[in-house]
Chains A and B, each alone.
Chain A
Amino acid sequence: KAGVTQTPRYLIKTRGQQVTLSCSPISGHRSVSWYQQTPGQGLQFLFEYFSETQRNKGNFPGRFSGRQFSNSRSEMNVSTLELGDSALYLCASSKGTGGPYNEHFFGPGTRLTVL
C-alpha cells in the first residue's frame, strides 16, 4: 500500500507570494492533518480535515488555509508569504476520524524556503 505522498518536496518562494502544497493520504484514509515544523518552534498543528470538513484548527493566522477534496486529497495554501513561513510542512493521514485515538501516518514533508 502506498504511503502518504506530498508534493512538491521542495519549494522556493519570495516574500509576498502564495503557495499551495498537496497531500495524498493512504488509500482508504479519510482524515488528513497538517503541521508546520521550524527549528525555533518545533512541530505545530495547523489543521485537520475529515470528509471534506475542517474539524480542528491550530493557532495560525488566516493566511494559512486548507481544504480537502472528495477523494480525501488535501491542499494547504499560504498567502502573502513571510520569511518566517520557511519551514517543513508535514501532513498525516488517519484511517478513522483523526484526532487523539487514531494512528497518524506522516508524509515526507514539503520543505518551503521563503526568500
Chain B
Amino acid sequence: KNEVEQSPQNLTAQEGEFITINCSYSVGISALHWLQQHPGGGIVSLFMLSSGKKKHGRLIATINIQEKHSSLHITASHPRDSAVYICAAFNSGGSNYKLTFGKGTLLTVNP
C-alpha cells in the first residue's frame, strides 16, 4: 500500500464545476506539495503546504496535519485545467527527508 493515496484516480467534469481532489498519507509529514502535469510531461508546482490553506486564483489547497489529509479544489473549472494532479509528501523538514508521491488524479474538464 502506497504511503500516499490520492482519490479519485480519474475525474471527468463539465466546465464550470467545482472540483475536489484528495490526498491522504499514512505517516507524519512536514510538508506537502501539489503538482500539475500536462500531457507531454511538463510539471508545474502549484502549492507548498505545511498547515492551513492557500489560494492562487481559482485553485485552493488545504491541509490537516492531524488528520493526515490534504485537498486541492478548483473552482469554476475550465478545459485548460485538464491535467494530472499529483501530491507529494515530505516526511521531514530537514535534508534527510523521505519524499513520496501519490499516483496522480487525471482530471478531464469538458466544454
Contact = CB atoms under 8 A, between A and B. Distances in A.
A25 interface: no
Nearest to B46: A103
B50 A101 contact: yes
A45 B98 CA distance: 9
A42 B87 CA distance: 11
Chain A interface main SS type: strand
A104 interface: yes
Contacts of A109: 41-42
Interface residues on B, range: 20 to 34
Interface in A85-109: 88, 90, 92, 97, 99-106, 108-109
A56 B97 contact: yes
A42 B42 contact: no
B43 to A, nearest CB: 4
Interface of B: 30-31, 33, 35, 41-45, 48, 50, 86, 88, 90, 92-97, 99, 101-104
